[in-house]
Structure 1
Amino acid sequence: MDIPKRPSLLYKDDIHREQVYVLEGNIVKDLGIDDIDYMFRNTDRNAFNCMKLLSVMQTSGENIAYRSEILEDFMQNKSVRQCAANILMKLIALKNEYGVKTFRFDETHKDILWKFSVMQSYVKCIKEIREILEDCKNDVKSEGLQNFIKYIDDIYRSESYKFIVEKLPEHQKAIDNMKGITVGINMNKLLEPTEAMILTFEPKPFKKRSFLSDFFQTKDNAEEILKKSQFYSLAKVSKSGIEAAFLKDLGEVIRMGLEKVAELLDEYFTSGIEELLEYDLEIDFYMAGYHLVDRAQEMGIPMTRPEVADKEERICEIENTCDISLAVRMRKENSKLSRPGDVIVKNDVAMNDQGRIFIITGPNQGGKTTYTRAIGMAQVLFQAGLYVPGTKAKMSPVDKLFTHFPKEEERRVDEGRLGEELRELSGMMDSVTRYSMVLLNESLSSTSAYDSLVICANLMKAFRSIGLRVVFSTHLHELAYEIDNINSEVEGSSTVIGLVSQIKKIEENGKIKHVSTYKIIPAVTDGKSYAYDIAYKYGMAYEQLMERFFSHDNKRKNGEK
């Protein structure tokens, strides 16, 4: 066959199919990736597999750029999106016909007829897709879509395709001429049928009590005799052994009559159709990528196409980013909040030579976890070849991504929470490289402050020596005071820096309160968690508790409910 090799819209070549890192389920959960499933969706039939592609991180910057360029064609050209939508309609029609078989696999002639019908649809589909692409091919800039357009055109112009187009009508005519069969029956002296054989195929179906008329002298005589002759449905009556054998032989004869059709189909059928149908998911992926951006922007979240930096740079620089999963959750909790992105505080990320290990401290509920999750989500979207939340971004791919977030789960009987955490972190260290990213959220908070400080300081030193990109959100303010010592005591290409969740002072009812701004900025921690202000916010400050008690107590004494 001269059918060209199929170019993928997801992988630049076969080598890049292997350059991936599959995220574990706990990472998907920690980063809230499943929260965006309704945003990253085009058709329901491919929604699950599109989300699954997010967890298969591309580790090659070249392939990330390949995808990003294709998506940009979708983002910038309505004509490309319209062509894609029309192509998806053609592909699903072909997929529906290809995916339906209502017969047993041993019914060979039915298999041939089914394949023949699908092949007719395939030929039509290629022709129609080629015509659709005429409307947008001049707008296409990406290598991937240009390869796709050329692939469809090469198939259409190939000798194999032309041969199929030429032969299908001939074989259709042969099939149409198989409307009936002439059967020869031998009888014994008692006029009992003893043998039967198929003689010819007939181009027209037989009519009731007319096909034996020629065997009798007059029409009236024939009609009188043939009143006893009836048509019987072979599909509805039970079959005796001889009848079953005869019908099996009939099936074999029909199969032999279709042999030339079978030879044509066997050469072109499976590979050509299945390869074409792979574009259903691939095109849907980019349509979902477009909808993700469109829906995020409708929610007030800025989205940008990240510049792909070399993996050796090991950078993650994003301006005005936020946690897109937070916006989704806010909208679910308050249906009237149509644009949660407008109220979510945006933050910058500057992970580069000036600092690759972030130790984030600050007040409780100050946005530390949200900031950590936002970086992880952006990295996942970036390595899928998609836009990321923000107004500008430049990012290097990571070869692996690890998270360590608090979770409720059964622990091994021989260890407590600390032992479990240490075991998990130790296992992580067996897999990381200098190109990996690690996101830690309140890790090692189950032991004493001193023990936690010693362990965390050692962990940060190891991360620095290896050269990792790390975000560590922690209440351990003392660790932030050790940053200079960590940087000076060990050599490494990842500088440790401190970030804090910024607070502001406001006066309320004559009292000074500290309120989180949710801005994460490079700074030295003041060592305060501002737990009082959080307690006060929820009515759990000491004076509030006592005020509630006395109020309730007075009501009780006065007999009030």
Structure 2
Amino acid sequence: MVTTTDVLYPPGQRPTEQDGSQPSHEPAFFRDLNLGQVIADVTANQADYSLTGLYWCQLRDLHTLRYRQEIFRDLDRANICDLVRTFAQRRLVFQFRYRTKEIREDDHGQQHYYRTRFFLNAVAEYCQAVLQLADGLEFCEPRSRGLGDLAGYLHEYVSSAGFLALHDETLRLEAALDGVHYIVVIRGDRITVAGDDDEADYGKQVAATFARFQRQPRSSARAQPRLWEAYAGTGILDLVAQLYPDVFAALDAFCGEHADYLDPVIARFDGDIQFYLSYLDYIAPLRAAGLAFSYPRLSDTDKSEQALDTFDLALAQKLRLLPNRVPAPAHESADVASSAAHQTEARHEIVVNDITVTGAERILVISGPNNGGKTTLARTFGQLHYLARLGCPVPGRETRLFVCDQILTHFNRTEDSTTMTGKLQTELNRLRDDFAAATPASVIILNEMFNSTTAADALFMSREILQQVSALDALCVCVTFLDELATLNDKTVSMVSTVVPDDPATRTHKVVRQPADGRAYARAIADKYGLGFDRLVEELSR
């Protein structure tokens, strides 16, 4: 017998509020990787559910991550996704909370019978939704353990004496209410309600007579009743209840007896499945545009990694909303290897690239011209590892990722004038704290360190930092103008953001595995002092 089921965690693995594993705030790296905006967009239409905390809670247990991947794969099947989405759109938990609150607070005054009828409607919809989900899952035969266990649970639940009694009683009450007929006589300000005695429905006859004069299609939107009409309606319903005391007494008893009609396992499923549906909704337009998403092969020991045709998720969504966006080709040449997604001002391209880390390689050192996609690559690398730790599909194809224990980011910060330390000292303090927390299983992302000091000092300190990363054997991305860092040792890989060969001012935003050309820092200095290629061309053309 299936006593419970869970679509977020394998049986018995769900953390409790007491164990402190649920974060109360977003991870520190969200700001640097633009993940705060991603999660805000993912959860934007799910205010009734507490989804944000689920996206803050990163996992490392491979069993749980594969468990979630299986459910995502099931939801990639259109028949299962449509079935589950139809169930979720009924918002059963919200309906339960709202209607039971109305019944608890009801004082048997005005609108009492409206509330009881709406409660009955909510129970009827619950029974119908559960039956449809149970039948649909049995027909679709999900392959994931989570949805498979849910199907087994629902099969037993809808066959249980409690559910059968609830469903039967609901149907009987609906039939009894459908049998309520009455006539309303209005004379001046006096309303009389009486049994209909099988009188003809003159309202239908009047509507049929004047139907041919109707020129505009009747709007499906119902006009809001005026206040006096609402009061009259509640008064009429109270009088109808006096004509059918047994029916309305049974309705009152039903509301009292079934105040807890919502099954707790189904209630949890109704909330938890939104985690999957909200993310799938978010990436659906990108998939429709031809961008790839895949389920990475995960390991907590093997640090060899691969992500082909990958991209910055936050940037891709931003570019998707811009006009005249043109998709970039997936492959421009056979030797292209790296990862980024970036924008050209003219075309708003979503550029996809490849990441590979093999053998002893651990540190990707990325150099190249400004605005060439280097930082976008670094963000993409971090986003891949974050999404993998949620069990979500990640941007790219043929992905293989190491499941890290934490993501540490070091991006440039605006100098804080309220502190007693300069920018360089503040940066060193931050790095000290990061490396105190870092482990061999960490992912470290360093973006343009020490740009407030001289090139010689920056090179010396950057080498010291990367030596520590190398000694840790941690995975790392280092964005820099210091090309010398790319040849630090056999753990470093040189990657370069490229330009159009015949037009060095035009960035391709492709980042490829190739030796650094030694000119990145020179370009940066030239740009800083207005002596870059673009600026010189502009001045000479005047």
- TM-score calculated relative to the size of structure 1: 0.67
Whether contact under 8 Å (1:331, 1:338) holds in the other structure is: no
Please say if residues 434 and 468 of structure 1, whose CA atoms lie closer than 8 Å, have aligned partners that are also in contact: yes
Is the contact between residue 74 and residue 143 of structure 2 (CA under 8 Å) also seen in structure 1?
yes
> Equivalent residue of 2:136, what SS?
coil
SS at match of 1:540: helix
* 1:54 partner SS: helix
Q: Is residue 500 from structure 1 mapped to residue 499 from structure 2 by the alignment?
A: no
Q: 2:280 — aligned with what?
A: 290
Q: How far 1:516 moved relative to its partner? A: 3.9
Letter in 1 for 2:80: V
Task: Indicate the residue corresponding to 1:243 in structure 2.
Answer: none
Q: 1:419 to 1:115 in 2, by over 3 A?
A: farther
Report if the CA contact (8 A) 2:499-2:506 is conserved: yes
1:303 to 271, 293, 298: 293
- State the SS of the aligned residue for 1:135: helix
Q: CA RMSD in A?
A: 4.2
Post-superposition offset of 1:149: 1.3
SS in structure 1 at match of 2:471: helix
Q: 1:168 to 1:346 in 2, by over 3 A?
A: closer
**Residue 5 of structure 2: SS of its match in structure 1?**
coil
Q: 1:401 to 1:477 in 2, by over 3 A?
A: same
* 8 Å contact kept, 2:5–2:265: no
Contact 1:443 1:474 in 2 (8 A): yes
Query: What is the CA deviation profile of residues 315-352 of structure 1, one whole-angstrom value per residue up to 9, with x for unaligned ones?
Result: 432112122322223334x3121646774433221234
C-alpha distance in structure 2 between counterparts of 1:124 and 1:94, whole Å: 12
Of residues 260, 264, 267 in structure 2, which corresponds to 1:277?
267
| Percentage of matched positions with identical amino acids | 18
Asked if 1:475 is matched to 2:469, the reply is: no
1:362: Cα distance to partner? 2.1
Question: 5+ residue gaps in structure 1?
Answer: 176-206, 209-234, 236-256, 488-495, 552-561
Corresponding position of 1:336: 324
> What is residue 427 of structure 2 aligned with on the other side?
421
Distance 1:128 1:302, change over 3 A: closer
Letter in 2 for 1:405: F
Cα deviation digits, residues 337-371 of structure 1 (max 9, x gap): 16467744332212343312222222222221111
Counterpart Cα distance in 2 of 1:452 and 1:264: 73
What amino acid does structure 2 have at the position aligned with 1:54? Y
1:476-507 CA distances to partner (integer Å, 9 max, x unpaired)?
Answer: 223234x12xx6xxxxxxxx213221435644
Residue 397 (structure 1) aligned with residue 396 (structure 2): no
Q: How far apart, in 2, do the equivalents of 1:261 and 1:100 lie?
A: 13
Separation in 1, partners of 2:147, 2:103: 39
Question: How far has the Cα of 1:80 moved from its partner?
Answer: 0.7
The residue that corresponds to 2:130 in the other structure is 129
Secondary structure of the residue aligned to 2:46 is: helix
Which of 506, 523, 532 matches 1:531? 523
Counterparts of 1:363-442 in structure 2, within 5 Å, are 363-408=369-414, 410=416, 412-442=418-448
1:172 and 1:416 map into 2 onto residues whose CA distance is: 74
**Residue 94 of structure 2 corresponds to which residue in structure 1?**
95
CA–CA separation in structure 2 for the residues paired with 1:118 and 1:424: 57
1:411/1:353 Cα in 2 relative to 1: closer, same or farther (>3 Å)?
A: farther
Contact 2:80 2:137 in 1 (8 A): yes
Which of 459, 470, 483 is residue 465 of structure 2 equivalent to?
459
CA contact (8 A) 2:306 2:356 kept: yes
| Contact 2:92–2:267 (8 Å) recurs in 1 | no
Report the secondary structure of 1:428's partner residue: helix
**Distance in 2 between residues matched to 1:136 and 1:8, nearest whole Å:** 15
Q: Judging changes above 3 Å, is the alpha-carbon distance between structure 1 residues 107 and 81 closer, same or farther for their aligned structure 2 residues?
A: closer
Shift of 1:434: 1.9
Give 1:470 deviation, angstroms. 0.9
Contact 2:362 / 2:475 at 8 angstroms: preserved in 1? yes
Relative distance call for 1:37 and 1:401 in structure 2 (3 A) is closer
Equivalent position of 1:7 in the other structure: 5
What is the CA–CA distance in structure 1 between the aligned matches of 2:443 and 2:271, rounded to whole Å? 29
Q: Which consecutive unaligned segments of at least 5 residues does structure 2 have?
A: 178-191, 194-230, 232-249, 331-348
- Equivalent positions of 1:308-327 (< 5 A) are 309-327=298-316
In 1, Cα distance between the equivalents of 2:329 and 2:47? 27
How far did 1:296 drift?
A: 1.0
Once the two structures are TM-superposed, the CA of residue 515 in structure 1 deviates from its matched residue by: 5.0
Deviation for aligned residue 1:29: 2.7
Question: What residue number does 2:146 align with?
Answer: 144
Equivalent residue for 1:85? Answer: 85
Give the counterpart letter for 2:387 in structure 1: L
Summarize the Cα distance change of 1:363–1:293 in structure 2 as closer, same or farther, 3 Å threshold.
same
Pair 1:100–1:407, CA change in 2 (3 A): farther
1:172 positional shift: 11
In structure 2, distance between residues paired with 1:380 and 1:297: 20
Supply the AA of the counterpart residue of 1:335.
P
CA contact (8 A) 2:287 2:293 kept: yes
Alpha-carbon distance in 1 for matches of 2:452, 2:532: 26
Does the 8 Å CA contact 2:365/2:477 hold for their aligned counterparts?
Answer: yes
Q: Which has the larger radius of gyration?
A: 1
- Following superposition, the deviation at residue 72 of structure 1 comes to 0.8
Matched, 1:71 2:60: no
Task: Check whether the contact 1:115–1:265 (CA below 8 A) recurs between aligned residues.
Answer: no
Would the aligned equivalents of 2:59 and 2:65 in 1 still touch at CA under 8 Å?
yes
Map of 2:200 onto structure 1: none
State the shift of 1:65 in Å: 0.8
CA contact (8 A) 1:359 1:499 kept: yes
2:318, 2:474 → 1: CA distance? 31
Letter in 2 for 1:429: F
Which residues of 2 match residues 22-61 of structure 1 at below 5 A?
24=26, 26-36=28-38, 40=42, 44-46=45-47, 49-50=50-51, 52-61=53-62
Once the two structures are superposed, what CA deviation does each residue of 1:170-198 show, in whole Å capped at 9, x if it has no partner?
9999x9xxxxxxxxxxxxxxxxxxxxxxx
Residues 276 and 470 of structure 1, relative CA distance in 2, 3 Å threshold: same
Pair 477,48 (structure 1): closer, same or farther in 2 beyond 3 Å: farther
